[in-house]
Amino acid sequence: MRLLASLAALALLSGCGLQPIYAGGSQGVVAQGLANIEVAPIEGQEGWLVRNALEDRLYRSGSANGSAQYRLDVLLDDRLEGLGLLTDDTIGRQRRTLRARYQLVDIATGAILVDATAGSDAGIDVVSSEYATIAAEQTALENLSKEVADQIVVRLTRVLREQDQ
């Protein structure tokens, strides 16, 4: 009876239309599409962090042919603002916000396939040690860069998967 129930559940799942995004592994359409995206240089330290995170996630460092089919253009807006005022009028908390506007461009035709935004923010405690505050600000920027890169890659993965269908 359990075997019959398992088979019935398997049959129902096969009809639901769910498909693995990375079907075919590194030779699949999505993985190959991601590897064919060239990330244009991005200004500033935050740009360097986001570009490195993107290239890690797009597997560009491992691509051998060097010729890209797509170009990813990214513009960043990094803001650090004080939030909480203490009784002595000093800032007790900061918020670091990193926003990215990005476009995926087909290099051959110049067509823009994706024009979207991604972003994240982090709270930072301002403490009496200036060094500790600066270190917290830097750590927040590093973490936000990874989060924004993850959001961009997820969106690009969906677009590449839709083109394959």
CA dihedral (158, 159, 160, 163) positive or negative: positive
Residue 81 pairs in a beta bridge with 95
SS3 category, 163: helix
Query: Of 66, 64, 58, 71, which Cα lies nearest the Cα of 157?
Result: 58
pTM: 0.79
pLDDT digits (tens, 9 = 90+) for 3-24: 777 767 766 665 555 555 555 5
Average pLDDT, the chain: 84
pLDDT digits (tens, 9 = 90+) for 130-152: 899 899 999 999 999 999 999 99
Facing residues of 70 across strands? 37, 106
- For residue 134, the tally of other CB atoms under 10 A from its CB is 10
| Sequence-separated contacts (24+) of 30-35 with Cβ below 8 Å | 30/157, 30/160, 30/161, 30/164, 31/59, 33/69, 33/70, 33/156, 33/160, 33/163, 33/164, 34/58, 34/59, 34/153, 34/156, 34/157, 34/160, 35/59, 35/60, 35/62, 35/63
Give the architecture-level CATH label for domain 24-164. Answer: 2-Layer Sandwich (3.30)
